[in-house]
Amino acid sequence: MNAVLVIDKPAGMTSHDVVNRVRRMVGQKSVGHLGTLDPSATGVLPIVLGNLTRLAQFYTRSEKDYQGVIRFGFETDTYDAEGEPTSVAQSVIVDLEELRRSAASFHGHIRQVPPPFSAKKIAGVPAYKLARRKKVLDLNPVEVDIKHFEIIAVNGDSAEFCAQVSSGTYMRSLAHDLGHKLGCGAHLKQLRRTRVAEFRIEDAHSLETLGDAVRQGTVEAVVVHPRNLLPQFPCVTATDGLVALIRQGRSINLPDYSKAAKVKVFEGQRDLIAVANRVAGTLFHPGIVFAT
């Protein structure tokens, strides 16, 4: 099976757990995901199968949308509700307008320090492994882009938010830093990812739904239509002659697409056979050819 599907990841599973579950369901080894979610988080987890695992290179810098809840009053060592408190709990009632003003200061390009318990590597070792050994971590800040960060509502010591951020942004760090700015401490209480690139929560299916589709032989109904992948690249339906050349890795002429930097090349309506790069004028060379 060569396909992309969007799983609504449940809480309590790692992204790798989901990949392993899908592997067993569909009976094939070549399965991956497009962007890790923390075990406690839920929501959009795009899964790539078969030859289409090679599409992952186009999604390394994908924007993401989130909804979640931040709890104020104390910090934790993981920056979320799974960790141990690292500050004395305070009784706080947060003000909506004050929170919105503080959240606005995080908009745009900022430098963010990843959480100690994260997959960020230090000298080749994931930070979470060093943190578990009680090692003192010196994590370097990274530049991220917070395109949108809005406090929607408050309820006692907690606030609901929505956000649109660049790849590499840690929502746990954003919650932690907001609490630090307010002087009361905070951590991420809940998180749900609602979009990765073109994949939205409306497209997502539960693992149970996928399992039912596999048993009923209706998997095509739950996968993303190949022509909806990488919408920034035009779709080209190749003739039989062009298909043969592309499968040989040879360049082809596409007169109607001379302004496109890349195109998706299809055999028929659903069989994505290549992503081709424009060389010059109307000449395109297949950068990726998906094996038959």
CATH number for 217: 3.30.2350.10
Q: Does the annotation mark 17 as catalytic?
A: no
pLDDT in the model for residue 117 = 67
Whether residues 113 and 234 share a domain: the answer is: no
pLDDT in the model for residue 255 = 87
Whether residues 78 and 176 share a domain: the answer is: yes
Whether residues 70 and 172 share a domain: the answer is: yes
pLDDT in the model for residue 124 = 53
CA dihedral 31, 35, 36, 40 (to 10 degrees): -110
- Are 157 and 72 a contacting pair, CB within 8 Å? yes
pLDDT in the model for residue 135 = 46
Q: 211 is in which domain, residue-wise? A: 3-60+198-224
User: pLDDT (tens digit, 9 = 90+) per residue, 45-98?
Assistant: 999 999 999 999 999 999 999 999 999 999 998 899 988 899 989 899 889 999
Residue numbers in the chain where pLDDT is lower than 50: 121-123, 125-136
Q: Maximum Cα–Cα distance for the chain, whole Å?
A: 72
Q: How many domains does the chain have?
A: 3
Catalytic residue of the set 38, 65, 80, 157: 38
Rounded (10°) angle between helices 15-26 and 207-216: 10
- CATH number for the domain harbouring residue 272: 2.30.130.10
CA dihedral 21, 25, 28, 31 (to 10 degrees): -40
Whether residues 186 and 211 share a domain: the answer is: no
What distance in Å separates the CA atoms of residue 271 and residue 290, rounded to the nearest whole number? 10
Whether residues 43 and 106 share a domain: the answer is: no
User: How much is the pTM?
Assistant: 0.90
Whether residues 139 and 47 share a domain: the answer is: no
* DSSP codes, 97-142: HHHHHHHHTT-EEEEEPPPSSSS-EETTEEHHHHHHTTPPP-PPPE
pLDDT in the model for residue 116 = 80
